[in-house]
Amino acid sequence: MAITSPDNRLWWKEPIHRIELAWIIIAFLWGLVMFFTMTFWHAFGQQNLSNTTYKVMPQAFAAKAERMAEQYKVREELGIPVVHPPPGSDVYLIGRIWMWWPILELEKGQSYRFHLSAMEYSHGFSLQPVNINIQLQPGYEHVFTMTPTDSGEFGIICNEYCGFGHHTMASRLYVVEKSTARSTQE
């Protein structure tokens, strides 16, 4: 029994029954399949988070974001600049208590090089309803390329607890069709 010493003192010499052995082999192979599915996705899948990260001082990161916002600001919403950077460019998003800054306006089907970092605490970039979730850490600038494939108004909420204002930390992200994008810029 499981609560007594094994009846057979040489239990490690007992053969494992073939049914049990078969299951162990199936489970092992399934593990390999899952392992290589992750690897495979890096080669052929479209959704892989980049490993590019830089160490950065929060103020230095904020300065880069402000420079971008100054250059490409198209309007303001409730005091927050809405920024329409050119497709393919570097876009910066700051997470800080308890807001996202600035608001980005992107074009559908275009790729952007995102730079994410937090100012004082960790924050969670949660793009809704797409449901892409990426962590922000102060002192780390996380760089990845993202391509919006739907247009419309999206929500960015914070899903890493960051103090008593955490539940108010929400913002928007606009994705516009290419043609309308050009006309609004003109």
Element (H, E) at 66: helix 58-72
Look-up of token digits 């909420």: 157
Instruction: With contacts defined by CB under 8 A, name the span among 11-19, 67-75, 84-92, 177-185 that binds another protein.
Output: 11-19
Does residue 132 touch another protein according to CB under 8 A?
Answer: yes
Does residue 11 touch another protein according to CB under 8 A?
Answer: yes
Question: Measured between alpha carbons, how far is residue 139 from residues 46, 59, 70 in Å?
Answer: 28, 9, 23
CB within 8 A of 43, min separation 6: which ones? none
What is the 8-class DSSP label of residue 154?
E
Distance CA 158, CA 118 (A): 11
Does residue 43 touch another protein according to CB under 8 A?
Answer: no
Among 60, 67, 90, 139, contact with another protein (rule: CB under 8 A): 139
Does residue 59 touch another protein according to CB under 8 A?
Answer: no
Nearer to another protein, 92 or 121 (CB): 121
Instruction: With contacts defined by CB under 8 A, name the span among 50-58, 63-71, 88-96, 178-186 that binds another protein.
Output: 50-58
Nearer to another protein, 78 or 183 (CB): 78
Question: Measured between alpha carbons, how far is residue 43 from residues 46, 47, 149 in Å?
Answer: 9, 10, 21
- Draw the binding track, 162-181, toward another protein (x: CB under 8 A; -: no contact): xxx-xxxxxxx---------
Does residue 60 touch another protein according to CB under 8 A?
Answer: no
Nearer to another protein, 30 or 184 (CB): 30
- How crowded is residue 93: how many other Cβ atoms within 10 Å of its Cβ? 22
Nearer to another protein, 34 or 186 (CB): 34
Does residue 86 touch another protein according to CB under 8 A?
Answer: no
- Diameter of the chain measured on Cα atoms: 85
Among 63, 71, 75, 147, contact with another protein (rule: CB under 8 A): 147
Distance CA 153, CA 96 (A): 21
